[in-house]
Amino acid sequence: MPIQKVDKERIIKDSLKTFKAQGYHKTTMADIAKACGILKGSLYHYFKSKEELMEAVIDYLTQYYENKIFSVKNKHDINGYEKLVFLMKKSEEIFLTDNGGCLMASIGLETVNVIPHFTQKIQRFFKSWISCFEQIFSDKFPPEKATELAEYGVAEIEGSVLLMLIFQDEKYLKHAHQRILNRYINS
């Protein structure tokens, strides 16, 4: 009677790091198994394919963001500025750990023409993120402007993450965050 060495969530978390660092196609099931401390075959008890695992990772991460981070938009005990500061703090935590980068952007770009159902799931993540910014900005801006600023902010952050990775310099992300805060303040 074998002992449960891992569970689905454990596998998701461990493979998340690997997918984030290496991308989808470069990561092998053997890489993931090793990262989880189990054997390749055992992965198939939890996920019936690599695609399904990747989808579970995307879903898990989306829910994590929605529940733990983007949910800040509905808080009543802090103001808009504080919400933005919270978002940036969390972004920096996540985009700077495990070699840095944003899994959604990396996997999104890598698979957009190749595995369309990943793209659908990734859309949900970006919609949630944009909608979070939108709601915060709608304090101070009319709806259309809030929407545009939200898309603008997400784009700016993702572009900065790219430059950060390419040049190995965190300043890009920090500057982007600062600009977003400034746009909010100076309105």
Partner DNA sequence: AATGAATGAGAATTCATTCAT
Partner DNA sequence: AATGAATGAATTCTCATTCAT
CB of 23 to a copy of itself, least distance (A): 5
Contact partner, 14, from DNA, a copy of itself, none, Cβ < 5-8 Å per class? none
| Contact yes or no for 80/87 (Cβ under 8 A) | no
By CB under 8 A, name the one of 136, 154, 177, 180 that touches a copy of itself.
154
Nearer to DNA, 49 or 97 (CB): 49
158 touching a copy of itself, by CB under 8 A: yes
Contact partner, 57, from a copy of itself, DNA, none, Cβ < 5-8 Å per class? none
Nearest to 81 by CA among 139, 156, 164: 139
Tell me, rounded to whole angstroms, the distance of Cα 54 from its chain centroid. 13
Contact set for a copy of itself, span 79-118 (CB under 8 A): 99, 101, 105-106, 108-114
Interface contacts to DNA, rule CB under 7 A: 1-6, 27-30, 38-46, 48-51
| Contact yes or no for 115/23 (Cβ under 8 A) | no
Contact partner, 151, from a copy of itself, DNA, none, Cβ < 5-8 Å per class? a copy of itself
Rounded CA gap, 25 and 31, in Å?
12
Rounded CA gap, 60 and 173, in Å?
24
By CB under 8 A, name the one of 5, 8, 25, 89 that touches a copy of itself.
25
Nearer to a copy of itself, 19 or 136 (CB): 19
Burial of 78 from C-beta contacts in 10 A (0-12 / 13-18 / 19+): exposed
By CB under 8 A, name the one of 15, 62, 91, 160 that touches a copy of itself.
160
Amino acid at 25: H
Phi then psi for residue 32, to 5 deg, are -65, -45
CB of 7 to DNA, least distance (A): 7
